[in-house]
Structure 1
C-alpha cells in the first residue's frame, strides 16, 4: 500500500499536483485508488472521491491491458480552481485510447465508456516532440463545484 508521506497543500499560486510511478499491472489499481483518496482528502475534495477512484481504476486497467509498459505514472492534479484531473502516463504513444461500444456479452471493453459517463471530459496528451513522442497521458477531469 501507499500513502502520501509529504503533505500536499493547496495554495493560490501554482498548480497543486501529486504523481508517483508504479508497476503497470492490474494490482496497481488498488494503490491508485488509495493515492487518489489520500490526495482528495488533503485537498478537501472528498465529494469527488468515488468518481475519481473509478476513473483511476479504469485508466490503470487500460494501461495494464493495452500497453507493454513495465511502469506507469499516476497523476492527480488541479489544473485550475474549478477542475480536478486524474491521469495515467505510459511510454506507449502509438496505442491511443478510442471510445468504442462493447457488445452486451463482452466481459471487458467498457472502461472508457465508464470514464466518459462519469467525467466532465477526458482525453489524452502526447509527451515529447511532435514527431517523436516518448509517451502519452490519458486523463479525465471532474468539475470542482463552488464551495467544495
Structure 2
C-alpha cells in the first residue's frame, strides 16, 4: 500500500496591479504552482479563469487597480479568487453572441469551472471560482491507471529489496525507490543491448502524449 496523502498544497496569494501586462506572468505562476501540486491536467482551465477574472477587474474597475490573486484547495476542489477594492462593480454573466469580441469572460469561466460567485468584503469584493479534481483527499495524489500501476510495481520492488521498505510510507523513501527502479530499468536496457537514452526518449513521448506535460 502506497501513500494516499502525500502532497502539500499550501494556499498562497499574490498582490499585483491589474494591468494587461501582468496577465501572462500570472498564468505562468499558476501553471508552476499547479504542476508542483500534481494538478497539471487543470492548468488550462485555471489559466482561463485567472485571465478572465483579472480582465474583468481591468475592464470594469480600472487599469492599475491593486488586486490580489489567491489559490487554495477547498477540500478536493481547486479554488481561485481575485480580490479587488471595488464593491460596486459586481461581475455579471451576460448573454452575448459567440462572435462577440467582449463580454464573454464570465461565460468562459462558467464553461471551464464547476461554480463561481462574488462575495462583498469589508475592503471590496472577492470573485471566485472552483474546479473539481479527481483527488480523493485534499493532500492526496491524482488517481489514474498509470499511477496505480506504478504504485503496484513500487510496492513489489520495495518488498523485493527489503521487508522494511514495504512498510515505510514516507514520500521521500518511496521517491527514492522510484528513482532506483528507473535506474535499474536503464541497466536492464543496456544489458540487453538497448540504448537507455532511446528508452528515456520514448518514455517521455508516451508521458507527454497523454497530456501530462503542459506548455
TM-score, normalised on structure 1? 0.81
Unaligned runs of 5+ in 2: 1-6, 136-140, 143-215
How many equivalent pairs are there? 130
Counterparts of residues 22-37 of structure 1 (less than 5 Å): 22-37=16-31
Q: Is 1:53 the equivalent of 2:53? A: no
Q: Match of 1:102, SS? A: coil
Q: Provide the C-alpha distance between the structure 2 equivalents of 1:104 and 1:41, rounded to a whole number of angstroms.
A: 31
1:83 to 72, 77, 88: 77
Q: Note the residue ranges of structure 1 that are not aligned, 5 or more in a row.
A: 1-8, 129-133
Query: Aligned-pair distance for 1:99?
Result: 0.5
Match of 1:107 in 2: 101
> 1:70 pairs with 58, 65, 82, which one?
65
Report the structure, 1 or 2, having the larger helix content: 2
Measure how far apart 1:67 and its partner are.
0.2
In the TM superposition, residue 92 of structure 1 has moved relative to its aligned partner by 0.4
**How big is the shift at 1:126?**
1.5
The structure with more radius of gyration: 2
Q: How many Å apart are 1:145 and its aligned residue?
A: 0.6
> 2 CA distance for matches of 1:107 and 1:47?
28
Q: Is the contact made by 1:126 and 1:135 (CA closer than 8 Å) also made in structure 2?
A: yes
1:49-74 CA-to-partner distances (Å, cap 9, x unmatched) read 01001110111111111103621101
Cα shift at 1:105 = 5.1
Q: Is the 8 A contact 1:28 1:60 kept in 2?
A: no
Provide the C-alpha distance between the structure 1 equivalents of 2:79 and 2:99, rounded to a whole number of angstroms: 32
Could you list the runs of 4 or more consecutive aligned residues of structure 1 that deviate by over 2 angstroms after TM superposition?
Answer: 103-106
CA RMSD of aligned residues (A): 1.6
